């Protein structure tokens, strides 16, 4: 394992790649992607295997165009939402405004009980819940139900419509799939980004967390055949990342990982040489 001396700081992710507040949203990693994602990544398939709020897939769509980009997540709520962002942003914004006009604590709890995985109606409800979840901490329980409480104080936020339309336009050719990560194990000649739910972390936010064994097996299967970038909180050896990876440190100044923690650390590991000319001195 090559431990690089480089540490990246991540301060804010409120940029053009930021779609919704989401635990683990990587929009703030754009400067890291600028340096570590090679210029020719767009000449083959790019797969965001644990897509979440899509920050990496959106980033790549802006940088390389979206024809080669695949967003994947095993949560049907996220997949339906991304499809609506791509295919019906104006209708989605209309649904959001309808919720916004009625928003209060009681209404939030009512919406939380409704279906959020089906079509525009589901996506509109999910967007409303996501924008109003307590300190931006979307949470799903083990049966896939959204269970975050409502944010306190301020009213229902306005949507940044221009940003939503820009994102929608940029991802217009992006493929969106709803598959378990293991099903990508036979991928060849792609650029794959893995940002799994943080393993060995007791803060459950997603519908499921892979076992370290299944994740390690997957990483071993894809590593020889693809360029791979992995984001994680654990030390690489603890989750079975092979020796051939170079490891970069990341300091998150404003963490969305823990309720009480304002600083947290992650790693980014890659199994290829980054482009020299993009990599600024660290
Ligand atoms: C850390 S989040 C990814 C955050 C994302 N990079 C972003 O910028 O928003 C991990 C994602 O993995 C998804 N996930 C959990 N288990 C999965 C599985 N077995 N296969 C595919 N995706 C999974 C979760 O639904 C969650 O959206």
Give the whole-angstrom CA distance, residue 146 versus residue 156.
Answer: 18
Closest CA relative to residue 47, chosen from 177, 191, 168, 189: 191
127: CA distance to ligand 1 center in Å? 17
Our answer on whether the CB atom of 55 is closer than 6 Å to any ligand 1 atom is yes
Q: How many residues does the chain have?
A: 282
Residue for token pair 């979206």: 66
Our answer on whether the CB atom of 53 is closer than 6 Å to any ligand 1 atom is yes
Our answer on whether the CB atom of 17 is closer than 6 Å to any ligand 1 atom is no
Answer whether 170's CB lies under 8 Å from 206's CB. Answer: no
Our answer on whether the CB atom of 206 is closer than 6 Å to any ligand 1 atom is yes
Q: Phi and psi at residue 247, in whole multiples of 5°?
A: -115, 130
Our answer on whether the CB atom of 73 is closer than 6 Å to any ligand 1 atom is yes
Domains of the chain: 2-80+172-270 (3.40.50.150), 84-169 (1.10.1020.10)
Supply the pLDDT for residue 149. Answer: 85
Q: Mean pLDDT over all residues of the chain?
A: 89
**Does residue 261 carry a pLDDT above 90?**
no
pLDDT digits (tens, 9 = 90+) for 78-111: 999 999 999 999 999 999 999 999 999 999 999 9
- Whose alpha carbon is nearest atom 26 of ligand 1? 52
**Does residue 204 carry a pLDDT above 90?**
no
51: CA distance to ligand 1 center in Å? 5
Looking from the CA of residue 48, the nearest atom of ligand 1 is 6
Supply the pLDDT for residue 239. Answer: 87
Our answer on whether the CB atom of 26 is closer than 6 Å to any ligand 1 atom is yes
Residue for token pair 């000449």: 43
Q: Which DSSP category does 81 fall into?
A: H
**CB-based contacts of 217, cutoff 8 Å, min separation 6:** 240
pLDDT digits (tens, 9 = 90+) for 31-78: 999 999 999 999 999 999 999 999 999 999 999 999 999 999 999 999
Number of other CB atoms surrounding residue 98 within 10 Å = 11
Between these two residues, 189 and 237, which has the higher pLDDT value? 189
**CB-based contacts of 46, cutoff 8 Å, min separation 6:** 57, 60, 64, 68, 69, 70, 190, 191, 192, 193
Our answer on whether the CB atom of 195 is closer than 6 Å to any ligand 1 atom is yes
Supply the pLDDT for residue 259. Answer: 40
77: CA distance to ligand 1 center in Å? 12
Between these two residues, 1 and 156, which has the higher pLDDT value? 156
pLDDT digits (tens, 9 = 90+) for 137-162: 777 877 778 888 898 877 899 999 99
pLDDT band for position 280 (cuts 50, 70, 90): very low
84: CA distance to ligand 1 center in Å? 18
3-state helix, strand, coil in the chain (%, to 5): 40, 15, 45
Supply the pLDDT for residue 146. Answer: 83
Answer whether 117's CB lies under 8 Å from 80's CB. Answer: yes
Our answer on whether the CB atom of 75 is closer than 6 Å to any ligand 1 atom is yes
Structure tokens at 1: 């394992």
102: CA distance to ligand 1 center in Å? 31
277: CA distance to ligand 1 center in Å? 31
3-state secondary structure of 89: helix
pLDDT digits (tens, 9 = 90+) for 9-36: 998 778 999 999 998 899 999 999 999 9
Supply the pLDDT for residue 206. Answer: 62
**Does residue 262 carry a pLDDT above 60?**
no
276: CA distance to ligand 1 center in Å? 30
Share of residues in the chain with pLDDT > 70 (%): 90
108: CA distance to ligand 1 center in Å? 24
């Amino acid at each position: 394992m090559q431990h690089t001396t480089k540490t990246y700081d991540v301060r804010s992710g409120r940029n053009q790649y930021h779609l919704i507040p989401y635990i683990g949203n990587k929009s703030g990693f754009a400067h890291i992607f600028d340096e570590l994602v090679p210029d020719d990544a767009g000449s083959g398939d790019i797969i965001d295997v644990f897509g979440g709020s899509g920050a990496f897939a959106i980033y790549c769509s802006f940088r390389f165009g979206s024809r080669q980009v695949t967003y994947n997540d095993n949560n049907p709520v996220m997949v339906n939402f991304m499809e609506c962002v791509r295919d019906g942003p104006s209708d989605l914004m209309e649904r959001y405004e309808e919720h916004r006009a009625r928003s209060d604590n009681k209404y939030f709890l009512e919406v939380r009980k409704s279906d959020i995985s089906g079509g525009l109606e589901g996506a509109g409800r999910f967007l409303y819940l996501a924008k109003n979840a307590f300190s931006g901490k979307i949470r799903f329980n083990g049966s896939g139900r959204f269970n975050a409480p409502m944010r306190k104080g301020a009213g229902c936020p306005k949507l940044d419509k221009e940003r939503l339309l820009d994102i929608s336009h940029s991802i217009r050719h992006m493929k969106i799939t709803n598959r378990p990560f293991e099903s990508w194990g036979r991928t060849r000649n792609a650029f794959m980004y893995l940002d799994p739910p943080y393993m060995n972390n007791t803060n459950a936010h997603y519908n499921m967390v892979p076992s370290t064994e299944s994740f390690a097996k997957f990483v071993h299967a894809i590593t020889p055949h693809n360029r791979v970038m992995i984001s994680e909180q654990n030390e690489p050896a603890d989750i079975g990342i092979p020796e051939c990876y170079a490891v970069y440190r990341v300091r998150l100044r404003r963490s969305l990982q823990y309720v009480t923690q304002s600083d947290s650390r992650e790693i980014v590991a890659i199994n290829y040489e980054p482009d020299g000319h993009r990599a600024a001195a660290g």
